[in-house]
């Protein structure tokens, strides 16, 4: 990541506007308008088709889930009505009439969700919260691999794998969040019902997983050990399939590692252990997460005035080098900049084009192990000159696609303008490069409540959406 423009442009996200400035002849302008109008129409049709395909896939999952449950007699009319709408939607899809199919599919999905929750099926399901890059899942040992999507419900025995540029966040109803990093494969596990203890939620075949528990402890199985994670903890687990080497660390809270051979070992906060064929090592310090210094969160840089941005962070005692990642997604699966061996506590980025980005840093210890990543920060690159002649008084688009309840937790999903500043109940939320966002909101008071979503664009225009919910704690 040298400061030379040529190298930085190779590694940097760019949206060039120079070509548009050359369109000065009326004939060319007219042609662009006509092509743009036609293109917008095609894009709208593609958007409806894609959304219909997503909802239809969700309905198929729900139908599969309910087929394994006993549908009570009093709910049979609701199920048959939802199934009929799904059949109508399928017929419309076969006729390429996606505008007719979409509302029918949504009605079917919502009815099946309500039925599943009424049968008590919602409390045990995990689901994807966010997906970036190459992420796939399959149903059991013999299912076919298919692309992962947000809102897909995961069943016990389902497999999830990520590619070299993939990453996925998975939510469990007990409040546990898993982030499956790139080059990983995991299995959603069965809970041990009636055992009086928390069942393991995930099995790792290989790769790297971060998890955060809430009020309930968690368990994760690797090929050679089981990690029992304390409540209110944040830990990571990694396993190299080729060498059989595992690494376990506690960023916050702690866990107990129970190897298949040997005695259990306690791993406290900011500690880690390594497991090899020889056994489990003694615990040793985990490098601290670096504190980011500059730029501050939500920093905005005008690319008309400068083409460079310097990132700085505080040194971590005992570290030998640092890892830096810059991405347009908070999961950091496919990174624009990835430098895993920086000796300095700063980095100079070359800037070209507009967009919203995130960055994070981790310290590497004397044993070359990588410590926890810092809390990521956001910055936005804008070109005010390209907007100087435009008087924008139109609020950004704001679409709430779903508000999914899990007791007093709600997962809010939606879409707004790329680069917009977004908040949910006053809490800042990351907006992806395509404008999509998701946020988990915890409402602590039972009864009627309102979730407020606010999006603000570069000109200060605001769009507000409010969702009324009724909170019932489990």
Quote the pLDDT of residue 438.
82
Q: Same domain for 308 and 343?
A: yes
CB atoms within 10 A of CB 383: 16
CATH code, domain carrying 222: 2.60.120.1440
pTM above 0.75, yes or no: no
Q: Please name every residue paired with 424 in a beta bridge, in sequence order, or none if there are none.
A: 427, 453
For 130-177, how does the pLDDT look when each residue is reduced to its tens digit (9 = 90+)?
888 899 999 888 788 999 987 678 888 899 999 998 999 888 877 788
Q: At CB < 8 A and 24+ separation, what contacts does 7-13 make?
A: 7/350, 8/349, 8/350, 8/351, 8/352, 9/350, 9/352, 11/336, 11/337, 12/336, 12/337, 12/349, 12/350, 12/351, 12/352, 12/353, 13/328, 13/336, 13/353, 13/355, 13/357, 13/433
**Which of 60-74, 81-95, 238-252, 406-420 is predicted most confidently?**
238-252
Is residue 90 scored above 70 in pLDDT?
yes
Is residue 121 scored above 70 in pLDDT?
no
CATH code, domain carrying 353: 2.60.40.10
What distance in Å separates the CA atoms of residue 32 and residue 17, rounded to the nearest whole number?
A: 14
The domain of 81 spans 26-118
The answer to whether residue 359 sits within a structural domain is: yes
Quote the pLDDT of residue 229.
95
Domain endpoint, select from 62, 88, 118: 118
For 42-82, how does the pLDDT look when each residue is reduced to its tens digit (9 = 90+)?
545 666 786 787 678 778 777 766 765 556 456 778 788 88
For 372-416, how does the pLDDT look when each residue is reduced to its tens digit (9 = 90+)?
899 889 888 887 765 554 556 788 899 998 887 766 678 888 999
Q: Same domain for 279 and 294?
A: no
Domain endpoint, select from 319, 353, 387: 387
Q: Which residues contact 74 (CB under 8 A, 6 or more apart)?
A: none
Helices (H), 191-300: none
Q: Check if the beta carbon of residue 326 is closer than 8 Å to that of residue 334.
A: no
The answer to whether residue 98 sits within a structural domain is: yes
Is residue 448 scored above 70 in pLDDT?
yes
Q: Same domain for 459 and 336?
A: no
Number of domains in the chain: 4
Q: Same domain for 36 and 63?
A: yes
Domain endpoint, select from 91, 118, 145: 118
Quote the pLDDT of residue 443.
81
The answer to whether residue 19 sits within a structural domain is: no
């Amino acid at each position: 990541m040298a400061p030379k423009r040529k190298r930085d442009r190779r590694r940097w996200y760019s949206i060039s506007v120079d070509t548009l400035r050359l369109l000065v002849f009326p004939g060319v302008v007219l042609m662009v308008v006509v092509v743009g109008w036609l293109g917008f129409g095609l894009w709208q049709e593609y958007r409806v088709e894609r959304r219909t395909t997503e909802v239809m896939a969700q309905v198929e999952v729900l139908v599969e889930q309910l087929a394994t449950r006993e549908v009570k007699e009093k709910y049979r009319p609701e199920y048959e009505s939802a199934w009929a709408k799904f059949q109508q939607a399928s017929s419309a899809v076969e006729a390429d009439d996606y505008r007719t199919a979409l509302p029918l599919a949504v009605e079917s999905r919502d009815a099946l969700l309500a039925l599943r929750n009424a049968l008590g099926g919602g409390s045990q399901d995990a689901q994807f919260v966010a997906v970036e890059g190459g992420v796939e899942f399959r149903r059991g040992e013999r299912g076919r691999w298919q692309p992962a999507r947000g809102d897909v419900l995961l069943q016990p025995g389902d497999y999830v794998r990520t590619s070299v540029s993939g990453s996925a966040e998975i939510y469990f109803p007990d409040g546990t969040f898993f982030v499956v990093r790139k080059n990983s494969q995991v299995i959603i596990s069965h809970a041990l019902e009636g055992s009086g203890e928390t069942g393991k939620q995930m099995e790792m075949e290989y790769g790297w997983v971060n998890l955060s528990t809430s009020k309930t402890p968690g368990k994760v199985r690797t090929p050679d050990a089981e990690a029992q994670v304390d409540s209110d903890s944040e830990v990571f687990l990694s396993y190299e399939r080729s060498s059989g080497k595992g690494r376990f660390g506690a960023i916050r809270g702690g866990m107990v590692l129970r190897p298949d051979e040997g005695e259990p070992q306690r791993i406290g906060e900011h500690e880690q252990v390594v497991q090899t064929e020889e056994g489990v090592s003694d615990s040793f310090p985990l490098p601290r997460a670096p504190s980011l210094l500059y730029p501050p969160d939500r920093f905005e840089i005008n690319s008309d005035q400068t083409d460079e941005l310097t990132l700085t962070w505080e040194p971590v005692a005992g570290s030998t080098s640092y890892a830096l990642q810059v991405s347009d997604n908070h999961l950091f699966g496919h990174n624009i900049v990835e430098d895993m061996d920086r000796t300095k506590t700063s980095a100079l980025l070359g800037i070209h084009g507009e967009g919203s980005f995130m960055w994070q840093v981790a310290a590497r210890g004397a044993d070359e192990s990588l410590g926890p990543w810092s809390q990521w920060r956001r910055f936005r690159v804008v070109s005010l000159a390209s907007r100087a002649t435009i008087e924008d008084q139109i609020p950004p688009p704001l679409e709430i696609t779903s508000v999914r309840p899990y007791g007093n937790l709600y997962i809010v999903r939606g879409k707004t303008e790329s680069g917009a500043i977004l908040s949910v109940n006053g809490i800042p939320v990351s907006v992806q490069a395509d404008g999509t966002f998701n946020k988990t909101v915890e409402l602590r008071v039972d009864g009627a409540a309102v979730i407020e979503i606010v999006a603000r664009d570069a000109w200060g225009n605001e769009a507000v959406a409010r969702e009324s919910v009724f909170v019932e704690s489990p």
